[in-house]
Structure 1
Amino acid sequence: MNKAVFCGLDFGTSNSTLGLVKNGKAHLVPLEGDSVTIPSALFFDFEDHHVHFGRDAIATYLEGGEGRMMRALKSILGTPTINEYTMVGNERKPFTAVLALFLLHMKRKAETVLDDEISHVVMGRPIHFVDYNPDADAEAEQTLKSIANDIGFSHVEFEYEPVAAARDFQQIASREEIALIIDIGGGTSDFTILKVLPDQPHANGNDARDLILANAGIHIGGTDFDRWLSLLRVMPLMGYQSEMTKPGRLMPVGYYHDLATWQKINFLYDHKTHSELRYLRREAREPHLLDRLIHLLDLREGHRLALNVEEAKIVLSDQEKTELSLGFVEKGLTTAISREHLQDSISDGTTRIRRTIADALVQAGIKGEDITVCFLTGGSTRLPLIRNSLTAMAPNAVVVEGDAFGSVGTGLALEAERRFA
């Protein structure tokens, strides 16, 4: 009987990784060229009937390929949308099948590297797939497990993503610490407070899990920061919150929220939306703003807009100001975005994230001053506004920068070895 081959799989809202353990050392598998991370994106090419993944999917879309772009699909787990179908060309596909395609692509890439079939997996999951709804949360995990079973994983288990990141931190800890793991990803913000014993995952015969003091999370992440920034600085150029001719009436906001939300953009490319917007244009005080929105949707460039907003957010981590070009909507159209705009757009979300950390401290029975290390992972911890605000809650802690996109995957691989080996 062949020995079971196992892995840790971090399926992220924005980026994904897959980790293996070899000779006691965890490493991430190259999933796209030499890169160990792959953007969680697919592009269904209607011209060659090929499915593109990751950076290739984004590049093919930006090159103007005829097809369907999909990203941030993890966010629909636990929502009614996961049980629906979506049109891909002339074919109706269940959303579960789309997620399965992406996860199967990752699995096959790793199996090619291994030259062996992977049968066991520990998958990462946020503290809450869905806030304040335990039934929907459990359903989301079960859906993801069923998809993993369907693509060939015979044994599927889960670990909280910040706990997995703690496993990675444990490898470099040189003394006992009270650690706050801060994992701000594309879709969620998750936190674990634990006592870390270096190189002792089974200290005194106990599972390291027994050293966890608190877990907490909230469904706010990098894609929410993108959405809020877009609503503040971009969507008003296309009629968001603009007045209608009838006194006291404003343009309906749903179209703009969907256009600023990765997983909802494709829902706007239908005849019903087009007809509604044409009608609303006739009632608008500034119809030229609606013309821009209609033109953008006719071009199916919603994802290009979202990518540009995401890039502006990243640029503002290092610069005070940037110009976002909307020339693909209207020649010469731009909007100036400052770091202050970014801070204003995410201030409410940051407050809610800080409140979640405060809840974790209460759950752990300690104060922020008791934390000795803040370990950061997740792409959104790269934003100085977020990082500085959250680490200030642990004023005596040393801040350790983990692998923003790889710590969870590495920790999941270590957890898979612990459980399956």
Structure 2
Amino acid sequence: MSASSRATGFCAIDFGTSNSAIAIPDANGDSGAMRLVELEPGRLTMPTAVFYFAEGRHDADGPPRAFGRAALAAYVEGADGRLMRSMKSILGSALIDQTTDVGGGRGVKYFDMLAGYLKRLKRQAEASAGHAIDRVVLGRPVFFVDEEPARDAAAQASLEAAARAVGFTDIHFQFEPIAAAFDYERQAPREQRVLVADIGGGTSDFSVVRVGPERMARLDRREDILASHGVHIAGTDFDRHVELAAILPEFGYRSLGPAKPGQTPREVPSGVYFDLATWHLINTVYSPGRVAELRGMRSFYGDTRHHDRLMTVLEDRMGHELAGRAEDAKIAVAAGGEVSVDLGLIEPGLTVGFSAGGAQQALGRDIERIAEAGRETVALAGLRLDQIDALYFTGGSTGLLPLAERIAADYPAARRIQGDAFASVASGLGLHAARLFKTAP
């Protein structure tokens, strides 16, 4: 590699549980400036997802696959194959060395799945940069595996091995909460204690970190992470509760059966509704046996319109469309107000209203549990709530106003900063990569 290409032959990768992003040097910007790579048309992030097709020929990269939103679309459309998501959770587990069936009589190692996704990201970065890239900063959680140091070390070693397998030769790691806080650190007037709230699709993670002008140049920031904690409640849980509260009642959820003399009407069975509101279970309701069983339950419904709508959803495979409408409704009322959800694709003229108040009612319990996790994180750091100087919000679910306001209410003296919902970590990793490789020999 030439001296000029070596000066820019690096990137930073946020390999996220739900979404991933890449930062590379900005050739058109100031020295040390970084930019995010467009991973899909008009998108700076890509879902961390791979779909393996059951049919098709292998090529030099392995079995036929789709990545990101194309992978999710293949699954939603019912293509024959296997969708893999949340691949980051495999790190530190015995699964990493095992092989799984992906359909068509094919087996793929979990390690190769992970490496294949990283290879896709690396190629995107190189295509955008216009040259080869062999150096990388990878983000990592404070703990891949809680309270098990050996497994945590094994998780990082597996991720490093995967990065090396796809052609990276100089590999470094930075903690994700520190990376998220880098944006704020550039404007921090003095040393401060920041509570980073990273609330994404699957988990709500909190970290208390020290930032400040004098610490900014340090490459090793481990000692600046004072505590980390989290709960497995986040955006996908919000979407499920919104769908159950606002949309699925129009399809029979929590409705009653027909009135009979001397009997109290019974609530219709709810299992199908919970499956329809859980993204990875939606396709299970389309099996012929399940559809036949539910078709035979018309007499269970006091209002047979509910059953008719439910069967339309099942027979026309519209479950993911309903889930999408629920997510859209959540986003639409995120900052307050209300929205009318159009369900005319199921029944002409069918709409339901949803408001910020409805969101508060549907999500109140989850929001309180997330706020509690933040308070617990501060306690683990040995601090009082009034000793937090700033709150830094990142992650796709932090735009939900009731959630952000509830968390902020515990820290009235703290400055509140909203980072980039999806790219704060990648941007911060990019800043670290620029500092690291600028000083590397």
Normalised by the shorter chain, which TM-score bucket? 0.7 to 0.9
Query: Which among 19, 32, 46 is matched to residue 24 of structure 1?
Result: 32
Verify: 1:74 aligned to 2:89, yes or no. no
* Percent sequence identity over aligned pairs: 38
Verify: 1:193 aligned to 2:199, yes or no. no
What is the match of residue 355 of structure 1? Answer: 372
Unaligned runs of 5+ in 1: none
**One-letter amino acid of the structure 2 residue matched with residue 258 of structure 1:** D
What is the match of residue 60 of structure 2? Answer: none
Deviations 1:154-197 (A, max 9, x none): 56665443222023322332322111112111222111112212
1:49-60 correspondence to structure 2 within 5 Å: none
Verify: 1:9 aligned to 2:13, yes or no. yes
1:313 CA drift (Å): 0.8
Verify: 1:239 aligned to 2:252, yes or no. yes
Verify: 1:168 aligned to 2:183, yes or no. yes
Say if 2:194 and 2:210, in contact at 8 Å, map to a contact too: yes
1:208-227 correspondence to structure 2 within 5 Å: 208-227=221-240
Secondary structure of residue in 2 paired with 1:332: coil
Query: Which among 400, 408, 414 is matched to residue 425 of structure 2?
Result: 408
1:119 CA drift (Å): 3.6
Say if 1:368 and 1:394, in contact at 8 Å, map to a contact too: yes
Say if 1:14 and 1:71, in contact at 8 Å, map to a contact too: no
Secondary structure of residue in 1 paired with 2:398: helix
Deviations 1:190-228 (A, max 9, x none): 11112212253355xx83221221111112221211111
1:242 CA drift (Å): 3.7
Say if 2:54 and 2:81, in contact at 8 Å, map to a contact too: no
Equivalent-residue separation in structure 2 for 1:177 and 1:361 (angstroms): 14
Say if 1:13 and 1:72, in contact at 8 Å, map to a contact too: no
Deviations 1:295-344 (A, max 9, x none): 21332222222221111111112442211111122222221111111001
Say if 1:125 and 1:159, in contact at 8 Å, map to a contact too: yes
Verify: 1:292 aligned to 2:292, yes or no. no
Say if 1:217 and 1:356, in contact at 8 Å, map to a contact too: yes
Equivalent-residue separation in structure 2 for 1:133 and 1:349 (angstroms): 27
Which is worse superposed, 105-114 or 220-229? 105-114
Which is worse superposed, 392-401 or 275-284? 275-284
Equivalent-residue separation in structure 1 for 2:418 and 2:389 (angstroms): 14
Deviations 1:127-171 (A, max 9, x none): 577889999988877776676566555566654432220233223
Q: What is the TM-score normalised by the length of structure 2?
A: 0.77
Say if 1:12 and 1:185, in contact at 8 Å, map to a contact too: no
Relative distance call for 1:392 and 1:413 in structure 2 (3 A) is: same
Which is worse superposed, 168-177 or 30-39? 30-39
Based on CA coordinates, which of the two structures has the bigger radius of gyration? 2
Say if 1:128 and 1:217, in contact at 8 Å, map to a contact too: no
Relative distance call for 1:71 and 1:314 in structure 2 (3 A) is: farther
Say if 1:124 and 1:161, in contact at 8 Å, map to a contact too: yes
Equivalent-residue separation in structure 1 for 2:311 and 2:141 (angstroms): 36
1:112 CA drift (Å): 0.3
Bigger relative contact order (CA 8 A; separation at least 6): 1
Verify: 1:308 aligned to 2:325, yes or no. yes
Unaligned runs of 5+ in 2: 58-63
1:89-100 correspondence to structure 2 within 5 Å: 96=110
**One-letter amino acid of the structure 1 residue matched with residue 374 of structure 2:** I
1:310-389 correspondence to structure 2 within 5 Å: 310-389=327-406
Relative distance call for 1:235 and 1:154 in structure 2 (3 A) is: farther
Equivalent-residue separation in structure 1 for 2:286 and 2:314 (angstroms): 6
Secondary structure of residue in 1 paired with 2:397: helix
Secondary structure of residue in 1 paired with 2:344: coil
Secondary structure of residue in 2 paired with 1:381: coil
1:106-145 correspondence to structure 2 within 5 Å: 106-126=121-141
Deviations 1:234-279 (A, max 9, x none): 1222232344679786544443233222333334333343233234
Relative distance call for 1:77 and 1:135 in structure 2 (3 A) is: farther
1:416 CA drift (Å): 4.2
Relative distance call for 1:70 and 1:162 in structure 2 (3 A) is: farther
Relative distance call for 1:156 and 1:350 in structure 2 (3 A) is: farther
Say if 1:180 and 1:375, in contact at 8 Å, map to a contact too: yes
Say if 1:44 and 1:67, in contact at 8 Å, map to a contact too: no
**Number of residues paired by the alignment?**
416
1:390 CA drift (Å): 0.8
